Structure 1
Amino acid sequence: MIKKILVSQPKPTSEKSPYFDIASRFGVELVFRPFIKVESISAREFRTQKVSILDYTAIVFTSRHAIDHFFALAKEMRVAIPEDMKYFCVTETIALYIQKYVQYRKRKVFFGTTGKIDDLIPTMVKHKTEKYLVPMSDVHNDSVARLLDSKKLNHTECVMYKTVSNDFTPEEIEAFDYDMLVFFSPAGIESLTKNFPNFNQGDIAIATFGPATAKAVQDAGLRLDLSAPSEKYPSMTSALQHFLIMQED
């Protein structure tokens, strides 16, 4: 019987989150505790990539993390970002977040609607003369680079932040008594095996979001009990709700 679930994400800020509905409906305790955290790389680490920010006329942001670490690195290196720098963001929410660092002007901030880089490409193609810099995490693939290459855009990808294990305290390790663990990235699985080298899954159910995370569970020799998304259950919360209903039967 599942009574206590560890969700490896920060606690939702909205009280309307479906997670809270699940807790209420099924009488389960939900604990939100990220297994990973994002950190800036140092200026010294960044310089080894031989990338000069001021060589570029436009920055592509795929997350708020990217914005935070881009401006943090620029500040650490004492690089003054030109006022005419253009910013291309995958969503309006990310675009508005830029206001934390620079004055928001519509003529220099562009955004997509779907959250996918593909949706931003037509706008970037309209600004074909720009030199694009794409800040990324150390954990990434070449899909963005290949997409920009296919449109013959002038671009460079660079690592500006890294995903590291969010280590558990001895007290947390001792009190680790969950019936289910929910993961959203392969790095979360790496953190689990690092923090709990002798982890014995037993009856603990493991749920994952995304094929890469599901594969990481199987590669670690663990049992995968719930995999999302699916055609019928596109979100983790809808998949989790269905899983708990099946547990009741």
Structure 2
Amino acid sequence: MIKKILISQPKPASDKSPYFDLAKTYGVEVVFHPFIRVESVSTKEFRAQKVQILDHTAIVFNSRHAIDHFFNLCNELRVAIPDDMKYFGLSEKIMLYIQKYVQYRKRKIFFGATGKWDDLVQIMAKHKTEKYLVPQSDVAGDEVSAMLEAKKLQHTECTMYRTVPNDMPKTLEGYDMVIPFTPSGAIAIADAYPCLKDGNVLVGCFGKNTAQTLKDAGIPVAMEAPSVQAPSMTGTLELFLKETNQ
């Protein structure tokens, strides 16, 4: 019987979140606590990478985190971004966020339709003369670099932010289930709660990479989202609660 769940996400701003509907329907308590947080690298760390931002004509963003940390770091470095700088992003939603920092002009904003890198790289390939700067986290893989190189695009990848473990509850006493959403979150709970290996507290997760990270740490995965039946975490969790709490 699942009575209390720890979820590695910020608490929803709206009471209309489906998580609260699940809590009411199945009589469970849902506690929200991010397992990781994102922080900028220091200006000293960035300078050590020997990357000259203004040597580039276009910036590529994969998330709102990337946008925030890019512009915040530019501010700290006192780098004034020219008005003719172009911006590329994985999705329209990400690129609309850029209005927080610069005026949104369609002639210099480009984004993919699917939210996937291979789609965006096809668009970037139509602008071969651009010199792309790709701000990334410290855990970025080689997949993006390989796609850019395959298209012979001039680009520089740089680390502008990192994920670090958040302060965690000292114990999982009272919890019946814990749900990380990212590989970094999976690592955080594996380090904080070795007791999860015994399976007494169930572990759910989002994404194949997160599931594999848990399994590599010796933690059994009781519920994995998304699935064919339920593409969202809340949908997957509802099916799980229906079966478990019957």
Give TM-score, length-normalised by structure 1.
Answer: 0.92
Q: Which moved more, 1:55-64 or 1:25-34?
A: 25-34
Matched, 1:195 2:214: no
How many pairs are equivalent? 246
SS in 2 for 1:164: strand
Shift of 1:197: 5.1
Tell me what 1:88 maps to: 88
Matched, 1:241 2:243: no
Unaligned runs of 5+ in 2: none
Work out the CA distance in 1 between the residues paired with 2:213 and 2:48: 30
Work out the CA distance in 1 between the residues paired with 2:125 and 2:72: 28
SS in 1 for 2:170: helix
1:20-35 correspondence to structure 2 within 5 Å? 20-35=20-35
AA partner of residue 203 (structure 2): I
Tell me what 1:75 maps to: 75
Tell me what 1:109 maps to: 109
Q: Relative to 1, partners in 2 of residues 1:208 and 1:63: Cα closer, same or farther, differing over 3 Å?
A: same
SS in 2 for 1:60: strand
Q: Relative to 1, partners in 2 of residues 1:176 and 1:157: Cα closer, same or farther, differing over 3 Å?
A: farther
SS in 1 for 2:107: coil
- Could you give the per-residue CA deviations for residues 65-99 of structure 1, whole angstroms, max 9, x where no partner exists? 00010011111111111110000011112111111
Contact 1:205 1:224 in 2 (8 A): yes
Q: Which moved more, 1:132-141 or 1:232-241?
A: 232-241
Tell me what 1:179 maps to: 176
SS in 2 for 1:25: helix
Tell me what 1:98 maps to: 98
Matched, 1:211 2:208: yes
Q: Which moved more, 1:233-242 or 1:187-196?
A: 187-196
Instruction: Decide which of 218, 223, 229 is 2:226's aligned counterpart.
Output: 229
SS in 1 for 2:106: coil
Matched, 1:36 2:33: no
AA partner of residue 179 (structure 1): D
Work out the CA distance in 1 between the residues paired with 2:83 and 2:198: 53
SS in 2 for 1:107: helix
Tell me what 1:147 maps to: 147
- Could you give the per-residue CA deviations for residues 95-153 of structure 1, whole angstroms, max 9, x where no partner exists? 11111111111111112222212222232122111001110110111111111112221
Contact 2:190 2:214 in 1 (8 A): no
Work out the CA distance in 2 between the residues paired with 1:47 and 1:82: 20
AA partner of residue 179 (structure 2): V
Work out the CA distance in 2 between the residues paired with 1:243 and 1:157: 41
Matched, 1:163 2:160: no
Q: Which moved more, 1:58-67 or 1:42-51?
A: 42-51
Contact 1:167 1:195 in 2 (8 A): no
Shift of 1:175: 7.0
Q: Relative to 1, partners in 2 of residues 1:104 and 1:176: Cα closer, same or farther, differing over 3 Å?
A: farther
AA partner of residue 240 (structure 1): L
Q: Relative to 1, partners in 2 of residues 1:160 and 1:153: Cα closer, same or farther, differing over 3 Å?
A: same
SS in 2 for 1:240: helix
Shift of 1:177: 2.2
Work out the CA distance in 2 between the residues paired with 1:158 and 1:215: 27
Work out the CA distance in 2 between the residues paired with 1:37 and 1:153: 32
Shift of 1:227: 1.4
Shift of 1:206: 0.2
Contact 1:185 1:213 in 2 (8 A): yes
- Could you give the per-residue CA deviations for residues 7-44 of structure 1, whole angstroms, max 9, x where no partner exists? 10112234443222211221111111000000000011
